[in-house]
Chains A and B, each alone.
Chain A
Amino acid sequence: GNSVTQMEGPVTLSEEAFLTINCTYTATGYPSLFWYVQYPGEGLQLLLKATKADDKGSNKGFEATYRKETTSFHLEKGSVQVSDSAVYFCALSDLGSGNTPLVFGKGTRLSVIA
């Protein structure tokens, strides 16, 4: 079946540090890939997405590239800010499995300290 594996957290970084959160996936078809972010006390919101191989999603300084050869969609940001502290979820949707809902990873908590 479809699944998403994220790096375990929590991740603690100093302000302006480089961020990578790893995400790999297993899918039977041709998935679309997503990163959602959850700020403290809130619901999830879409951060970025990519719908086909080699696509790069980007938003708010975050980027992720859909790598089919390595089945990965790692999230990166060149210089994190305290306001980026949140939980980040990688997710996939696989239309090859029919119109099935998103499959989420377990989330990675990021804390950025000044």
Chain B
Amino acid sequence: DAEITQSPRHKITETGRQVTLACHQTWNHNNMFWYRQDLGHGLRLIHYSYGVQDTNKGEVSDGYSVSRSNTEDLPLTLESAASSQTSVYFCASSDQGYSTDTQYFGPGTRLTVL
């Protein structure tokens, strides 16, 4: 069955370190998204991509970067981790080039920055 996976599921790192969170989908979806989930803020969009070599900034993109070199993967990099980036991160994907399509979410990565 097609799926979307995230790794690692849990990560503890130190302030200032570079961290990369992986997202891999086997749906062959064009669109991929990264969100962070925090109490009181709900789900906020970090970056998104509508296809290979395409990336766009979301609502809270500062301190994060993504690159899309193939259809299946959209890794999220924290260039220099900060305590404010402690959060649960979700990756999602959807099929067509229309935002009305269903997004399929991964299980999440819980990141702690000490």
A43-B99 contact in complex given A104-B43, A106-B40, A107-B42, C-beta closer than 8 Å: no
A55 to chain B, nearest CB (A): 12
- Total interface residues on B, using CB and 8 Å? 24
Residues of A in contact, count (CB < 8 Å): 21
Q: Give CA–CA (A105, B105) in the complex, Å.
A: 16
Bound Cα distance from A23 to B35, whole angstroms = 21
Query: Would A51 and B107 count as touching, CB distance under 8 A?
Result: no
Partner of A32, one of B41, B43, B100, B103: B100
Interface residues of B (CB under 8 A from A): 33, 35, 40-45, 48, 50, 58, 90, 92, 97-100, 102-108
B99 contacts A101, C-beta separation under 8 Å: yes
Cβ distance A24 to chain B, nearest Cβ, rounded Å: 15
A44 to B35: give the CA distance in the assembly, Å.
11
Do A43 and B50 touch (CB < 8 A)? no
In contact, A102 and B106 (Cβ under 8 angstroms) = no
